[in-house]
A = this chain, B = another copy of it.
Amino acid sequence: MPRRQPVPRAAGQATAAESSTKGRIEQAALELFAAKGFEATGIRDIADRAGLSTAALYHYMGSKDELLVAFMVESMTELIRAARAAIDGCDDPAGQLAALVRTHVGFHTLDAQRSLVADDELRAVSDVAFTKVMQLRDGYELLWAETLDSGARSGEFSFVDARITRLALLEMCNGVARWYSDRGPKHPSEIADCFADLALSMVGATRSGQPVRLADLRSRPTAEILALVETELRGSNDSLDAAVIA
C-alpha cells in the first residue's frame, strides 16, 4: 500500500488549505463540525474524509478539542482584525456601523463554515478555552457597542435600548452563516450591502432628518471591505506559509 509523499512546497507559493495533510484534516473537520456539529462528529469521520487513519490524525493535531478551539480563536482574531481595519479612519457612526456589518457578513459568507462553528459550538469547549474565546468575543462586541453609543449620543441613531439593539444586530448577522450558500442567488457583496441597509434602518440612522442608507455614505466601498476580509482569511488558512515567511 503506497504511502503519501510529503507535499512539495516552495516558499512564498500560495497554498490552498487542502493541499497539505494538516490542511486536509482541518478542512475535513471544519466541514463535519459545520454540518453535524462538534459532538456528533467522530475522529473516524474526520479521518475518513481526510483519507487517513485515526492514528495519523494525532500526528498533526493535539486533540479534537484543540482543533475546535483553534478554529474559534483564529476566527475571532481574524474577525476582530478585519473589523478594526474596516472602521479605521471612519469617524461617523453610520459609516462605522456599515463597515462593521459588511465585514461581519462578508466574513460569515466567505468563511461560513468556520464562522458557524465559532458561533455555535462555544458550549463544547472547556472552561479555560471558553474564557479565552469569550474575551475575544467581548472585545469584538465592544466595537459594536461603541459605535452604537456614539451614534446614540450624536443623535444620528435612535433606538430604544442599546444592548438589545446590539444583540439583535449581532444575531441577525451571525445568522447569515446558517442560511448562506455559495450556490444561492446572491453574491456575498450583495448580501453585505443589503444587511448594511437593514442595520442602518434598524438603528434609525438619519442625517439632517433624512434616513441614511449605505449609498448616502462616503464610506469604504464594499469590494474594499471584502478584500480586507479575504486578506485576513488567507492569513490563517495556510499558517505554513506564514511560518516560512517569518
Contact = CB atoms under 8 A, between A and B. Distances in A.
Contacts of A160: 193-194, 197
Given A37-B39, A39-B37, A124-B37, A171 B164 contact: no
Main secondary structure of the interface of A (DSSP, over half): helix
Interface stretch (A8-16, A172-180, A223-231): A172-180
A195 interface: yes
Contacts of A174: 171, 175
A193 B161 CA distance: 11
Interface string A153-172: 00000011100110111111
Nearest to A177: B171
A111 interface: no
A122 to B, nearest CB: 10
Give the copy number: 2
Contacts of A40: 39, 123-124
Contacts of A194: 160-161, 164-165
A188 B246 CA distance: 53
A59 to B, nearest CB: 27
A146 B120 CA distance: 30
A174 B171 CA distance: 8
Interface string A178-206: 11000000100001011101100111100
A198 B191 contact: no
A159 B193 CA distance: 12
A118 to B, nearest CB: 14
A40 B164 CA distance: 30
A75 to B, nearest CB: 18
Contact of A36 (B35, B123, B211): B123
Given A37-B37, A123-B37, A172 B161 contact: no
21 contacts: A39-B39, A39-B40, A40-B123, A40-B124, A159-B198, A159-B201, A160-B197, A161-B194, A164-B198, A165-B198, A167-B176, A167-B179, A169-B172, A171-B172, A171-B176, A172-B172, A174-B175, A198-B202, A201-B202, A201-B203, A201-B204
